[in-house]
Amino acid sequence: MPSKYKVLLVGSGALGVVAAYTLEYNGFAEVTVVVRSGYKKASTEGYKIDSIQFGKIESWKPSRVVPNVEEAIANGEVYDYIFTSVKNLPDSPTPCEQILEPVLKANTKATVILCQNGLDIEKPFLEKFPGHVILSCVSLIGCTNIDCVVNQMTPDNVQIGVFENPTIKDKEEAERKLDEFISIYKMENGKNVVKKDVNPRLTRWQKLVYNAAINTSTALTDLDCSRAAMAGCKESIWRPIMREIYAIAKSDGYILPPDLEENMLRISDGLFYTPSMLVDVRLNRMVEVEVIVGNPLRIAQRNGVDAPHLSMTYHLLKMVQFRIMEKQKIITVDDSVREFKNPDAQDNVL
């Protein structure tokens, strides 16, 4: 065991900051954090953290803060783990695998940890970076990061497993890397929950029960969870979408626990919690519409599962995404052109 593992963490949202703090708090890792937005403040003032898990920290900085992955490897740095909690946006100009390409090409033995929402997120990595061990990390945590102020309302609860990976010949090595990371992330005092995930795809379907219904609808309505529930959405919107996820998962070979639906319907009761997608919309940032809604819908289409509520949610979020991308000048619209051509015609089949 090395004196300290070298971890590169890409994605300095609330979840990423909590993960970086946990790794350094445990004392087994030296963390370099890539901060693409808010780099100046993070690198000079650090993060103010108010955490149910760690208490109040007025100013904290990881071992190293860099503005991009290129800077993280500028001096030939070698990392044991690449932990990414950056938003997974395959419809953006720089999808996640493109962001990580420089560091993964320079660190051919690094293990990749995808701590992100959604389904089928590993597939671009399997294709682009064969031979890397790729771990799935599914987090259930209530936390926000706004302008380097992190509020953690619920304890960190993660499940970490090995994505099925035909490009890896040594399956035992993949399991060893999994056990190793769990050992450096799990806190001895039990303040976080870290479980070994023997079926990552099932776990991701389970989290989609929440994300596809609650994360999406709060973003569309600009209401936090409790206010959305007060408005009557549990039975009219959340439950129907959840049941569609159950049906699509079953068509994919995964039976979800019967009590999960009720648990997810109640999980945010009384918290007035703002889910990640709503935070992104309020901050005019792109949302994870494709990995949370688009990919399950494509599975539904292939397997002949009817999902009208999820389909409507998807197309409404695509409109929100269009608005955000136009505001960010990722796309431009020439108002003088009267003839309309659909640039995304393949989505019309959903």
Query: Per residue in 39-61, pLDDT tens?
Result: 999 999 999 999 999 999 999 99
pLDDT digits (tens, 9 = 90+) for 110-162: 999 999 999 999 999 999 999 999 999 999 888 888 899 999 988 999 999 99
CATH number reported for the structural domain that contains residue 54 in this entry:
3.40.50.720
Residues 199 and 206: their CA atoms lie apart, in Å, by: 11
In this structure, the answer to whether residues 168 and 206 fall within a common structural domain is: no
Q: Is residue 248 part of a domain?
A: yes
Q: Are 51 and 101 members of one domain?
A: yes
Q: CB neighbours (10 Å) of residue 197?
A: 22
C-alpha torsion 192→29→36→149, nearest 10 = 40
Q: pLDDT value at position 344?
A: 54
The amino acid occupying position 163 is F
> 112 and 169: one domain?
yes
Compute the Cα dihedral for 5, 116, 58, 193 and give only its sign.
negative
**pLDDT at position 269:** 86
The answer, yes or no, to whether residue 79 has pLDDT greater than 60, is yes
**Judgement on whether residues 291 and 311 belong to the same structural domain of the protein:** yes
Do 133 and 255 belong together in one domain? no
In a domain, 151, yes or no: yes
Nearest residue to 26 (alpha-carbon basis) of 7, 44, 42: 7
Query: Which residue among 181, 198, 215 closes a domain?
Result: 198
Q: Which structural domain, as residue segments, surrounds residue 268?
A: 202-327
Position 338 scores a pLDDT of: 66
Is 337 within the bounds of a domain? no
pTM over 0.85: yes
Residue 289 forms part of a structural domain:
yes
DSSP 148: T
* CA 211 – CA 61 distance, rounded (Å): 30
Domain count, the chain: 2
The C-alpha atoms of residue 67 and residue 61 are separated, in whole angstroms, by 14
Q: Which of 42-56, 137-151, 171-185, 194-208 is predicted with the least confidence, judged by mean pLDDT?
A: 137-151
- Residue 239 pLDDT > 80: yes
Q: Are 25 and 127 members of one domain?
A: yes
CATH number, domain with residue 292: 1.10.1040.10
Q: Classify burial at 170, counting beta carbons within 10 Å of its beta carbon; exposed 0-12, middle 13-18, buried 19 or more.
A: exposed
